[in-house]
Amino acid sequence: MPTSSAHPEAENTLASLGEFGLIARVTAGRSQPAATLLGPGDDAAVVAAPDGRVVACTDVLVDGVHFRLDWSTPEQVGRKAAAANLADVAAMGAVPTALLVGLACPADTPVATLEGLADGLWTEAGIASAGVVGGDVVSSSQLVVSVTALGTLEGRAPVTRSGARPGDVVAVCGRLGWSAAGLAVLGRGFRSPVAVVGAHRVPEPPYPAGPAAARAGATSMIDVSDGLLADLGHVAVASGVLIDVRSAAFAVPARLADVGRALGVDPLHWLLTGGEDHALVATFPDAPPEGWTAVGAVAEGAPQVRVDGREYTGDPSGWDHFTR
Amino acid sequence: MPTSSAHPEAENTLASLGEFGLIARVTAGRSQPAATLLGPGDDAAVVAAPDGRVVACTDVLVDGVHFRLDWSTPEQVGRKAAAANLADVAAMGAVPTALLVGLACPADTPVATLEGLADGLWTEAGIASAGVVGGDVVSSSQLVVSVTALGTLEGRAPVTRSGARPGDVVAVCGRLGWSAAGLAVLGRGFRSPVAVVGAHRVPEPPYPAGPAAARAGATSMIDVSDGLLADLGHVAVASGVLIDVRSAAFAVPARLADVGRALGVDPLHWLLTGGEDHALVATFPDAPPEGWTAVGAVAEGAPQVRVDGREYTGDPSGWDHFTR
């Protein structure tokens, strides 16, 4: 018990409140969805897995690496940590059911910070109709948030990265490039435009689009955490196919165009390479369902991702098509 | 991608091997149990949950807090991290099915350390018949291992902390006090006796005893991670009962008696308060099943844990009965 209460009268840090005090505080009054059969407070939680299978994934976020508490509120960090995991569940074609949170943080972390983090985790879990069902809090030198998300496939087969077939349409759902644009703005010391900075702080993955894509017959799917081209690269390798993306298929949002002009960056570069928006990209044998935008095609060939038939150099200034 | 490969020719640290290289290396050639329907390598894993429910819990271990890499090998740390979680699953009366691992560590962590850690996680998972189905590796200043364990209740109700009833027998299964004795030895600069030091490095939770207790009608159960009296305290509070432990019921192992004599500590103190052995303690309406030792009784009264009818002071020298 590294965080036991030395000064119970001063309950403003993790050290003073203690692990159990903190857990009691951040779980009090939360309502759980129906899938939570047994919530926090025991050795383990029990979560419904109605079709006899559970989808599970873990992502870890570290202060100073994946977020900065001077750029984001604790609530935004909590939402981002939850979103990264919930999007992975959606990318399997599954519906999220539950989160578990492993939190390591300095003993002098203010309780308000941890409450904000917990609020963010609950908020984002709620958006995806999932509950926060368990976790652990320990002492460390740096804030580390490890989130595990669970989900249900509702009787369907999981949509993996390996099912893309030549002739499939590549389509995306959700925002691309917004988080990268926001990061570029923050990195230059600005705090606006609020829309792009906010997108970096809190992604908005289109959770229901994952199961919808599965129902529509998606052959492969992944969430865009490292960048569209990088993540499509995982699909290309796992499926053994060549993926060609058409740059003209992307409508560059006016706000990203504005920011790109101000910073001297072709915004299409953000769309193609920016991560952390957690859009979904999938392949479909036919036209993609409503809400998805076709942006490319799957072909036979050595596993790789091309843009307009060529290798993407990563240097937008050298990419003629991008100069607009 | 904080850990991308800058020097792929020198693959001896996480920074040089990269996240994907490390994951490929530590997952290659592993065999998965039947419950692993989809293993590592996609956005998420898929694990069997045959009775339509999944038991899930998360525990976080931090270098310098929960283990020391100068006292334990990486493999021992991996085993301990897995055991802490697998024991929580067993304490619900469930059979472990899978682990997910969130790993944060310095970029200069040797790959050999991470391979050892992975080996330990797989070894302990294998002992409990579970698979390691997913995870994440990121860069941080301090080694943090967050493990999530999943399990199946095989159609039974979970055995919680809140079901103890007056008249129940309190019984334990597994080792008590060994890890505490080992820690005491290590803390004084010794590396032997090997048996107790080894017990601190790698606990040996009696995983099958959890489901067996559930089948035998256990009314409550918890794993001993913080110490028998402390963890029974959680049961007493959750169940609203008084628990009385009989000190005479404990057979002090000869090795612990030897170490206690050498260090001037009553070994019963370790049995009553030592954590991290992850024994199971449960309450039964009747005699406990084979392999369990009755050590006390549940009674009506304000929630608390007593030893021989009295409050345990935590000072073994002041506890007459313990002076032997």
Query: Per-residue pLDDT tens for A51-103?
Result: 999 999 999 999 988 888 888 999 999 999 999 999 999 999 999 999 999 99
In contact, A168 and A82? CB cutoff 8 Å: no
Vertex B45, ends B41 and B48: CA angle to 5°? 145
Question: Between the CA of residue B305 and those of B87, B91, B209, B247, what are the distances in Å?
Answer: 22, 19, 23, 12
**Residue A161 within any structural domain of the chain:** no
B103 DSSP β-pair partners: B137, B145
**Ramachandran class of B104: left when φ > 0, alpha when ψ lies in -120 to 50, beta otherwise:** beta
**B184: Cβ–Cβ under 8 A, 6 or more apart, which residues?**
B259, B263, B265, B270
Closest CA to B256 of B198, B177, B316, B321: B177
Q: What is the DSSP letter of A157?
A: P
Both B184 and B114 in one domain: the answer is: no
Both B59 and B139 in one domain: the answer is: yes
Vertex A25, ends B210 and B139: CA angle to 5°? 75
**Residue A240 within any structural domain of the chain:** yes
Which chain B residue has its CA at the smallest distance from A140's CA? B62
Final residue of a domain: which of A152, A182, A214? Answer: A152
Q: What is the pLDDT of residue A29?
A: 85
Which ranges of chain B have pLDDT less than 70?
1-11, 315-324
Which pLDDT band holds residue A23 (cuts at 50, 70, 90)? confident
State the nearest Cα–Cα gap between B224 and chain A, in angstroms. Answer: 10
**Residue A157 within any structural domain of the chain:** no
Q: Give residue-wise pLDDT tens across range A232-291.
A: 999 999 999 999 999 999 999 999 999 999 999 999 999 999 999 999 999 999 999 999
Q: Which residue has the tokens 């990318």?
A: A91
Q: What is the pLDDT of residue B29?
A: 85
pTM: 0.93
B56 DSSP β-pair partners: A45, B150
Interface touch A91/B43, C-beta < 8 Å: yes
Both A247 and A302 in one domain: the answer is: yes
Interface touch B65/A137, C-beta < 8 Å: no
**Residue A162 within any structural domain of the chain:** no
Lowest mean pLDDT among A3-12, A35-44, A137-146, B33-42: A3-12
A207 chain-B contacts, CB cut-off 8 A: none
Interface touch A140/B62, C-beta < 8 Å: yes
Interface touch A46/B92, C-beta < 8 Å: yes
**Residue B289 within any structural domain of the chain:** yes
Closest CA to B57 of B127, B161, B143, B139: B161
Q: Which residues of A16-34 are buried (b: 16+ CB within 10 A; e: fewer)?
A: bbbbebbbeebbeebebbe
Q: What is the pLDDT of residue B34?
A: 95
In contact, A58 and B101? CB cutoff 8 Å: yes
Q: How far apart are CA B304 and CA B282, in angstroms?
A: 16
Q: What is the pLDDT of residue B7?
A: 44
Q: Which residue has the tokens 């509070």?
A: B237
**Ramachandran class of A278: left when φ > 0, alpha when ψ lies in -120 to 50, beta otherwise:** left
Both A256 and A220 in one domain: the answer is: yes
Which pLDDT band holds residue A44 (cuts at 50, 70, 90)? very high
Of B38, B42, B43, B234, which to mutate for an interface test with A (greatest number of A Cβ within 10 Å)? B43
H or E element in which residue B186 lies: helix B178-187
Q: What tokens appear for A121 in the block? A: 């985790």
Helix, strand, coil percentages (3-state) for chain B, rounded to 5, are 35, 25, 40
Backbone φ and ψ of B102, nearest 5°: -105, 115
State the nearest Cα–Cα gap between B237 and chain A, in angstroms. Answer: 12
Both A65 and A110 in one domain: the answer is: yes
Q: What is the pLDDT of residue A21?
A: 82
Closest CA to A79 of A94, A66, A65, A97: A66
Q: Give residue-wise pLDDT tens across range A232-244.
A: 999 999 999 999 9
Q: What is the pLDDT of residue B320?
A: 38
Q: What tokens appear for B287 in the block? A: 């005699």
Both A314 and A212 in one domain: the answer is: yes
Instruction: Give the number of other CB atoms < 10 A from CB of residue B71.
Output: 16
**Residue A6 within any structural domain of the chain:** no
Q: Give residue-wise pLDDT tens across range A194-220.
A: 999 999 999 999 999 999 999 999 999
In contact, A42 and B221? CB cutoff 8 Å: no
Q: What is the pLDDT of residue B27?
A: 86
What's A117's domain CATH number?
3.30.1330.10
Interface touch A46/B55, C-beta < 8 Å: yes
Interface touch B142/A137, C-beta < 8 Å: no
What's A263's domain CATH number?
3.90.650.10
Both A89 and A231 in one domain: the answer is: no
Final residue of a domain: which of A127, A152, A177? Answer: A152
Q: Give residue-wise pLDDT tens across range A106-151.
A: 999 999 999 999 999 999 999 999 999 999 999 999 999 999 999 9
Q: What is the pLDDT of residue A3?
A: 41
Helix (H, G, I), strand (E, B) or coil at B122: helix
Number of domains in chain A: 2
Q: Give residue-wise pLDDT tens across range A166-176.
A: 999 999 999 99
Nearest to B55 among A2, A44, A88 (CB): A44
Instruction: Give the number of other CB atoms < 10 A from CB of residue A68.
Output: 12
Both B203 and B277 in one domain: the answer is: yes
Q: What is the pLDDT of residue A11?
A: 64
Q: Give residue-wise pLDDT tens across range B91-135.
A: 999 999 999 999 999 999 999 999 999 999 999 999 999 999 999
Both B315 and B251 in one domain: the answer is: yes
Give a three-class secondary structure readout of A206-255.
CCCHHHHHHHCCCCEEEECCCCHHHHHHHHHHHHCCEEEECHHHCCCCHH
Both A292 and A233 in one domain: the answer is: yes
Which pLDDT band holds residue A324 (cuts at 50, 70, 90)? very low
Q: What is the percent of chain A where pLDDT is above 90?
A: 82
In contact, B46 and A54? CB cutoff 8 Å: yes
Q: Which residue has the tokens 């931090």?
A: B62
Nearest to B49 among A54, A148, A238 (CB): A54
Q: A245 or A27: which carries more pLDDT confidence?
A: A245
**Residue B214 within any structural domain of the chain:** yes
Final residue of a domain: which of B120, B152, B184? Answer: B152
In contact, A226 and A280? CB cutoff 8 Å: no
Closest CA to B72 of B204, B178, B191: B191
Nearest to A138 among B50, B60, B138 (CB): B60
**Ramachandran class of A135: left when φ > 0, alpha when ψ lies in -120 to 50, beta otherwise:** left
Residue B223's domain comprises 169-322
Both A208 and A318 in one domain: the answer is: yes
Both B187 and B137 in one domain: the answer is: no
Q: What is the pLDDT of residue A313?
A: 83
In this prediction, the answer to ipTM > 0.90 reads yes
Q: Return the CA Rg of chain A.
A: 21
Is the pLDDT at A6 greater than 60, yes or no?
Answer: no
Is the pLDDT at A319 greater than 60, yes or no?
Answer: no
Q: What is the pLDDT of residue B238?
A: 97
**Residue A111 within any structural domain of the chain:** yes
